[in-house]
Amino acid sequence: MPNAQDIVFLDGHAANGPWPLELAETFLDAPSPDRAVYTFLQLASWVNAYNREKPNPLNPFDRTGAFEVARQIEQASSLTQFCTQGLLDALFYFYRRDYWTNGDGSSIVEALPKLREIVREVVRRVRSDQPPTFILPNSQTS
């Protein structure tokens, strides 16, 4: 039975059905950094953390919220304290950070151990007796 307390909005441009568990497993098992980056980019685009950001009214480019949680996740030794939305938003954050820095995937390769840790935690939750409730843009749950 889905966990009504752990709600995830699948609001990224790739979201077109249930959260892609098989894609997550492909990422975790990727045999090379290039393949991992390619799969990661697909996986990270299932959410759009910008939708959970709060622009600063004095400076719209200064945002707080979802990306701050992503920074906390990056430093955390345990991921159990974070909601699933925060974990998936962190993947989006890493994707966008790479895009805005060098855009060649090198920062994703550097972060692969943490990214795999995040995805493993989400996969564990999805396979649990109380998986997260995923909400698609058209308000259907999966």
Could you give the percent of the chain with pLDDT greater than 90?
A: 58
Task: Read off the pLDDT of residues 75-116 as tens digits, 9 standing for 90 and up.
Answer: 888 999 999 999 999 999 899 888 888 888 999 999 999 999
CA distances (Å), origin 2, targets 110, 129, 134: 34, 8, 9
Q: Which residue has the tokens 């568990």?
A: 21
Quote the pLDDT of residue 124.
Answer: 97
Model confidence pLDDT, tens digit, residues 24-65: 999 999 999 999 999 999 999 999 888 877 766 666 555 555
DSSP secondary structure of 89-133: HHHHHHHHHHHHHT-SSHHHHHHHHHHHHHHHHHHHHHTSSSPEE
Q: Phi first, then psi: give them for residue 29, nearest 5 degrees.
A: -100, 5
pTM: 0.86
For residue 32, what is the enclosing H or E element?
Answer: none
- pLDDT score at 119: 98
